[in-house]
C-alpha cells in the first residue's frame, strides 16, 4: 500500500502560526514567539540534512541573509534531524549563519503542527512566512526534487509592511 502524500499544509494563510521552541545547530533554543513584533519569520522546512537538494537549498538562503535582514525577516531552517546532525551539516556546507532547528524530539512535532510532516517521518520541502503579528502570510509546498528560489520569498517579503 502506498502512502498518500499531503501536498497542502493544514494551516492556511491568515491563520495564527503555532508557537514552538527548538534547538539550533549550536544548541541554542529559538522560539517563534521571540520574533513577534520585531521580525517576519521565514520558516524553511526541509526533508533531511546531507541530502543533495537540501545541500543546494540551504546555502542559498545563507547567501541572501543580508537581503532578508534588510526586509526585517529572520530565516529559520527546520528538519527532523538532531542539533548535532545540523552542526555537522552546517560545517560541511562551509557554515550556515541562521538557525537550523532540530524538530527531533518529539519527532516531527513542529512539522506535524504545521501540516507538513510526511508519512515517511520527515517534512515536506515547504516555505512559510510568518508576519510580525504571528500570522501565516505565505505557504509554498515544493516538489521534493525542486530547489526553491529564495528570490520568490524576497519578492513576497517586499509586499509586507
Give the span between the Cα atoms of 117 and 80, in whole angstroms.
Answer: 9
What is residue 21's predicted lDDT score, i.e. its pLDDT?
98
Is the peptide bond prior to 28 cis by the omega test (within 30 degrees of 0)? no
Query: For the chain, what are the domain ranges?
Result: 21-157
What is residue 55's predicted lDDT score, i.e. its pLDDT?
95
What is residue 105's predicted lDDT score, i.e. its pLDDT?
94
What is residue 10's predicted lDDT score, i.e. its pLDDT?
80
Is position 54 annotated as part of the catalytic site? yes
Angle between helices 52-63 and 150-157 (to 10 degrees): 40
Q: What are phi and psi of 53, to 5 degrees?
A: -70, -45
Q: What are phi and psi of 106, to 5 degrees?
A: -60, 140
Which residue do the cell numbers 552546517 mark? 90
What is residue 4's predicted lDDT score, i.e. its pLDDT?
33
Give the span between the Cα atoms of 130 and 65, in whole angstroms.
Answer: 17
Active-site residue among 43, 44, 54, 78? Answer: 54
CATH superfamily for domain 21-157: Glutaredoxin (3.40.30.10)
Total-model pTM: 0.93
10-residue mean pLDDT series, the chain (161 residues):
44 96 97 98 97 95 96 98 97 97 96 96 97 97 93 95 69
Residues 6+ apart with CB under 8 A from 152: 140
Amino acid at each position: 500500500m502506498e502512502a498518500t502524500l499531503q501536498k497542502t499544509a493544514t494551516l492556511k494563510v491568515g491563520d495564527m502560526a503555532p508557537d514552538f521552541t527548538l534547538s539550533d545547530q549550536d544548541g541554542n533554543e529559538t522560539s517563534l514567539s521571540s520574533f513577534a513584533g520585531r521580525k517576519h519569520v521565514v520558516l524553511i522546512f526541509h526533508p533531511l540534512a546531507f541530502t543533495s537538494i537540501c545541500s543546494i537549498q540551504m546555502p542559498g538562503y545563507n547567501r541572501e541573509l543580508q537581503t532578508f535582514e534588510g526586509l526585517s525577516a529572520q530565516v529559520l531552517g527546520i528538519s527532523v534531524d538532531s542539533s548535532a546532525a545540523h552542526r555537522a551539516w552546517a560545517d560541511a556546507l562551509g557554515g550556515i549563519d541562521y538557525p537550523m532547528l532540530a524538530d527531533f524530539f518529539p519527532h516531527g512535532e513542529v512539522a506535524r503542527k504545521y501540516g507538513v510532516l510526511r508519512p515517511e517521518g520527515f517534512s515536506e520541502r515547504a516555505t512559510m512566512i510568518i508576519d510580525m503579528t504571528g500570522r501565516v502570510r505565505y505557504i509554498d509546498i515544493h516538489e521534493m526534487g525542486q530547489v526553491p528560489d529564495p528570490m520568490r520569498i524576497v519578492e513576497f517579503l517586499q509586499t509586507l509592511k
